[in-house]
Amino acid sequence: MGESQTAVSTAERRASKLELDVEHAPKGPGAKFLLGVYIGLPILAVIAAVPFAWGWGLTWVDVAIFAVTYIFTGLGITVGYHRYFTHGSFKANRPLRIVLAVAGTAAIEGPVIHWVADHRRHHKYADREGDPHSPWRFGTDWKALGKGLIYAQFGWLFSSERTSIQRFCPDLLADKDIARISRLFLPIAGLSLFLPALVGGLVTMSWWGALTAFFWGALVRLFLLQHVTWSINSICHAFGVEEFEVRDKSRNVWWLAILSFGESWHNLHHSDPTCARHGVLKGQIDPSARVIWAFEKLGWAWNVRWPNENRLAAKRVDKVDQAA
């Protein structure tokens, strides 16, 4: 068999696998409208945030509600959806599994099983055909990259491609607790939006307190968490530093580390996907890893895949080569 025939055969096999991994389900006008509201309303809230805060629309109660909801739902994504459910970086007892699934669902980034399926597919096809949200989808020149960054940030949500949960998440589909929580996405998401207003109203005993708590604890929190998460898909696959060998474009982006709870040490993550700590080098802050460490100390988590020095050293990019 010649080289050209081998290449064709390989391409055909890849196409065949991709057909099994991806289902085509075009979104109707109603679904696209709701997605537009989901993306657009938090943006409008952030645009209004400065004048709203200037006009006494921000109190310490609002700050506290925003911080608690952002940390709870953000860690639900990073520790729960990502490091635990997607990659199995540690084992967890049943109560912790349920709390992590609910916390991630409250982030309103999709049902746990669908989120995990998309992310497992992302790792299988990272920055190649089949990756649901690569910024390199349209090419490598600056114009194509600009278009790709928008697509990787939120444009991919409108795609007709739907990752097969049967192919990528048979383990979660078989878990009755997680399957049930995944089906309860809409009511949990609704509570995630409603509870900040309820708490704000009860603490201040006013409708105004409920309104400002909803504004900061629901809309602004949703905007920040959305775009921090999506920036891992876009910015961390286009810019930053390659400190560990990978076959894709994943990079480490230091300035996103705190807001993303350590997820922006994305180059290490793609080099060693099941590692529970992403910020493995000196000075790399990784709050999610500290939370997992606390769970381990409490006996709620075990078999944690902490970094292995020999494994890291084998994949380390030579600093001399990187500077060249």
- What per-residue confidence (pLDDT) applies to 319? 52
Does residue 92 sit in helix, strand or coil? strand
Question: Taking the chain (324 residues) in consecutive chunks of 10 residues, what is each chunk's mean pLDDT?
Answer: 50 69 92 97 93 86 98 99 99 99 99 99 97 97 98 97 97 99 99 98 97 97 98 98 97 98 99 98 98 99 97 82 41
Query: How many CB atoms lie under 10 A from the CB of residue 322?
Result: 11
- What per-residue confidence (pLDDT) applies to 57? 82
Tokens coding 104: 């991630």
Q: List the chain domain ranges.
A: 25-242
Which stretches does DSSP call E strand in the chain?
22-24, 91-92, 161-163, 301-302
* pTM of the predicted protein model: 0.92
Is the torsion defined by CA of 143, 148, 153, 155 positive or negative? Answer: positive
Three-class secondary structure assignment of 222-253? HHHHHHHHHHHHCHHHCCCECCECCCCCCCEC
Tokens coding 33: 């409208």
Tokens coding 195: 């509870």
- Give DSSP secondary structure letters for 118-141: HHHHHHHTTTSTT-TT-TTTT-SS
Tokens coding 281: 């080098």
Asked whether 254 and 67 are in contact (CB, 8 A), the reply is no
Instruction: Determine the Cα–Cα distance for residues 128 and 136; give it in Å rounded to an integer.
Output: 8
Identify which of 187, 179, 190, 261 has the alpha carbon closest to the alpha carbon of residue 222: 190
Residue 253 buriedness (CB in 10 A; 0-12 / 13-18 / 19+):
buried
Instruction: Determine the Cα–Cα distance for residues 254 and 262; give it in Å rounded to an integer.
Output: 9
Asked whether 140 and 106 are in contact (CB, 8 A), the reply is no
- What per-residue confidence (pLDDT) applies to 56? 78
Instruction: Determine the Cα–Cα distance for residues 250 and 240; give it in Å rounded to an integer.
Output: 8
| Tokens 């708590």 sit on residue | 213
Q: 23 pairs with which residues across the strands?
A: 162
- What per-residue confidence (pLDDT) applies to 324? 33
